[in-house]
C-alpha cells in the first residue's frame, strides 16, 4: 500500500487560487509516490562471502514474520527442482565421462565398467563437477529471485559477536567436530558390518583415496551445507518448525549418502544423526558458517585418522 493512501496530505501554500482541492491532493500524492520508497526495516542486507555486498534482497513484506536467517526468496517448487538437479546431475555427468575415459584409454565401455578403481575415480570427479554446477544453479536462482548477496541468501551470514567471541565459537565448533568424528567412528567399529560397504569396494587404490579426501575436505562440506542447511533447512523450518526441519534435513542428508553405505543400516543411521547435529548447530547459530565449520572439522578428522591408520594411504587394507 502506498503511504499516500493512508497518510493525509498537509495543506500546501503553493495551491493557486481557484484550483480544486482534489487537484492539489493529486499533485501531492504524485509527489509522494515519485520519491524513492523508504527502506523496509524488516529487510536486512545479506552479508556477502567473503566480502559484504551492499545490495539488499527484494523480498515480500510477509518475510518479516520470520527470523532473519529463515528469510529466503525461493519457493518449495524451486527447492524440489533443485534437488532433482542435485541428485541426477552426477549420474548424467558420469556417462560422458565414462565414454571419454574409454576413448582415451582405447578400451571398450563394457570392459571399463569392470575397472573398479577407474569407476571410483570417475564417480568422485562427476560428483565434484555436479557440486560446482549445483552452486551455479543456486547462483542463477538467487539472482533471478533478486535475493541480493548470493552467499547471504543461502545462509552464509557472519557468526554473531565480536572478534574474540567468534574465535571462541570457531574453536569450540572445531573441537566439537573432532569429538563427533570420534563418536561416530567408535560406534561404527562396535556395530561392525558383515560385508563390505559400497564405498569400501570403491576405495582400492591410494590415488582413489587421495581424490576422495580432496573432495571430502575441499568440496563436500561447503556444497552440502549450502544445500541442506542453506537451502532446504529454512524452507522446512518456516512451514513445520525448527525441530521438524532438523529431523527432515538429517534424514535427507542420510539418504543422499545411503548409496555409499547401502547395506550398512547402522552407518546410514549414524550419518542421519550427523546431519541432525549439523542442522541443530545451523539453527542455533543462525548461519551456515557454523555447520560448515563442524562439517569440515568432522570430515578432516575422519580422513586424518584414515591417513594415519594406512601409513599415508599405502596400506589400504587397514581401512577394512
Per-residue pLDDT, 284? 95
* CA–CA gap between residue 139 and residue 319 (Å, rounded): 38
Residue 40 pLDDT > 50? no
- Joined together, the cell numbers standing for residue 12 give 500546501
305 burial (CB, 10 Å; 0-12 / 13-18 / 19+) is middle
* CA–CA gap between residue 199 and residue 202 (Å, rounded): 5
Angle of helix 288-309 relative to helix 265-285, nearest 10 degrees, comes to 140
* CA–CA gap between residue 33 and residue 182 (Å, rounded): 61
How many CB atoms lie under 10 A from the CB of residue 310? Answer: 17
**pLDDT greater at residue 251 or residue 312:** 251
Residue showing cell 545479506: 46
User: What is the helix (H) or strand (E) element at residue 142, kind and residue range?
Assistant: helix 116-144
* 87-127 tens-digit pLDDT: 999 999 988 888 888 888 888 777 777 777 788 888 899 99
Give the list of residues 6+ apart from residue 229 with CB closer than 8 angstroms, or none: 155, 249, 278, 279, 282, 288, 291, 292
* 132-153 tens-digit pLDDT: 999 999 999 988 987 788 888 8
* 268-316 tens-digit pLDDT: 999 999 999 999 999 999 999 999 999 999 999 999 998 888 887 776 6
Angle among Cα 8, 61, 231 to the nearest 5 degrees reads 170
What DSSP state is assigned to residue 55? P
Contact 269, 254 (CB under 8 A): yes
- Determine what percent of the chain is predicted with pLDDT higher than 70: 77
Please tell me the pTM assigned to this model: 0.77
Q: How confident is the model at residue 62 (pLDDT cuts 50, 70, 90)?
A: low
* CA–CA gap between residue 287 and residue 282 (Å, rounded): 5
Amino acid at each position: 500500500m502506498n503511504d499516500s493512501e493512508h497518510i493525509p496530505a498537509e495543506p500546501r501554500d503553493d495551491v493557486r487560487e481557484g484550483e480544486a482541492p482534489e487537484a492539489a491532493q493529486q499533485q501531492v500524492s504524485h509527489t509522494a509516490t515519485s520519491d524513492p520508497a523508504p527502506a523496509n526495516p524488516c529487510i536486512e542486507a545479506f552479508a556477502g562471502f567473503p566480502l559484504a555486498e551492499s545490495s539488499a534482497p527484494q523480498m515480500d513484506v510477509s518475510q518479516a514474520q520470520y527470523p532473519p536467517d529463515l528469510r529466503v526468496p525461493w519457493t518449495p517448487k524451486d527447492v524440489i527442482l533443485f534437488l532433482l538437479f542435485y541428485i541426477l546431475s552426477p549420474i548424467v555427468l558420469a556417462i560422458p565421462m565414462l565414454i571419454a575415459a574409454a576413448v582415451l584409454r582405447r578400451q571398450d565401455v563394457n570392459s571399463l565398467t569392470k575397472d573398479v578403481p577407474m569407476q571410483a575415480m570417475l564417480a568422485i570427479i562427476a560428483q565434484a563437477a555436479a557440486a560446482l554446477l549445483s552452486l551455479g544453479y543456486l547462483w542463477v536462482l538467487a539472482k533471478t529471485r533478486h535475493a541480493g548477496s548470493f552467499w547471504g541468501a543461502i545462509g552464509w551470514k557472519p557468526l554473531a559477536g565480536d572478534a574474540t567471541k567468534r574465535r571462541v565459537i570457531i574453536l569450540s565448533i572445531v573441537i566439537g567436530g573432532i569429538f563427533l568424528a570420534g563418536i561416530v567412528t567408535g560406534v561404527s567399529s562396535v556395530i561392525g558390518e558383515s560385508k563390505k560397504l559400497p564405498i569400501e569396494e570403491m576405495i582400492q587404490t591410494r590415488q582413489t583415496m587421495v581424490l576422495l579426501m580432496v573432495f571430502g575436505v575441499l568440496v563436500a562440506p561447503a556444497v552440502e551445507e549450502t544445500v541442506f542447511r542453506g537451502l532446504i533447512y529454512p524452507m522446512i523450518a518456516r512451514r513445520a518448525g525448527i525441530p521438524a526441519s532438523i529431523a527432515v534435513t538429517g534424514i535427507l542428508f542420510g539418504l543422499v549418502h545411503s548409496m555409499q553405505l547401502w547395506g550398512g543400516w547402522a552407518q546410514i543411521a549414524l550419518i542421519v544423526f550427523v546431519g541432525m547435529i549439523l542442522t541443530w548447530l545451523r539453527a542455533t547459530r543462525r548461519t551456515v558458517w557454523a555447520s560448515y565449520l563442524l562439517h569440515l572439522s568432522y570430515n578432516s578428522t575422519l580422513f586424518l585418522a584414515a591417513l594415519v591408520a594406512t601409513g599415508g594411504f599405502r596400506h589400504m587394507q587397514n581401512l577394512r
